[in-house]
């Protein structure tokens, strides 16, 4: 069953276009992660936070990614990574036009 | 500029098909909220949590919805609503196949 992963953490930047330029390689690598279906990149320059909303093929791939991503962020100096994994209620999501790649 | 809203909170259920049946009317009403583009419904029966990922047309509509939704949940007995509003990095999101309704 597909799983949604939401992640956020304190982040000093860069944001916006500069973030996109610097992290294109990282984004490309994320497409190669097992079970990754899509990611929406989130950022808040005012709050100095960033993160992502991901859809994975199953719980194992979502958990493996969160473990790897948390370790990677910690190596970059991020001290607290907030990550949560959820099921998607497909029927209600369809009513509200959410796309989960069906 | 479009804004992503992520919300989660402790929730005793129902989950899954029963949740979908009971909350169809609520989902339909969410389509009428100003600025609401889509919602992905999230739930975790094991963790007894639920929430949603939303896209709104702008910050004002995302903030107004979060204020209203928090009050509605509190009336239902939810004591702590975790809500965060983010920008979306469209360029990186496009690389990772995320749909933000463009």
Predicted ipTM of the assembly: 0.96
Pick the residue of B86, B90, B94 with the most A CBs within 10 A to test the interface with A by mutation.
B86
> Which residues of chain A approach chain B closer than 8 Å at the C-beta?
4, 6, 8, 15-17, 19-20, 23-24, 27-28, 30-31, 36-45, 49-51, 53, 84-89, 91-93, 95-101
Whether residue B87 contacts residue B3, with contact meaning beta carbons closer than 8 Å, is answered with yes
CATH 2.40.50.140 fits A3-95, yes or no: no
Pair of tokens at residue B27: 């989902």
Q: Decide: B58 and B3 in contact? Cβ < 8 Å.
A: yes
Determine what percent of chain B is predicted with pLDDT higher than 70: 99
Whole-angstrom Cα distance, residue B95 to residue A22? 13
Task: Provide mean pLDDT across the span B42-59.
Answer: 98
pLDDT of residue A67 exceeding 90: yes
The pair phi, psi for residue B43, each rounded to 5°, is -155, 150
Which pLDDT does position A101 carry in this prediction? 72
């Amino acid at each position: 069953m597909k799983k949604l992963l939401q992640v956020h953490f304190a982040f000093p930047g860069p944001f916006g276009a500069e973030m996109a330029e610097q992290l294109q390689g990282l984004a490309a690598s994320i497409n190669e992660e097992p079970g990754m279906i899509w990611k929406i990149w989130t950022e808040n320059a005012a709050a100095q936070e960033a993160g992502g909303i991901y859809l994975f093929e199953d719980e194992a791939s979502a958990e493996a990614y969160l473990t790897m991503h948390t370790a990677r962020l910690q190596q970059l100096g991020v001290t607290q990574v907030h990550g949560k994994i959820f099921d998607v209620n497909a029927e209600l999501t369809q009513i509200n036009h959410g796309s989960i790649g069906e």
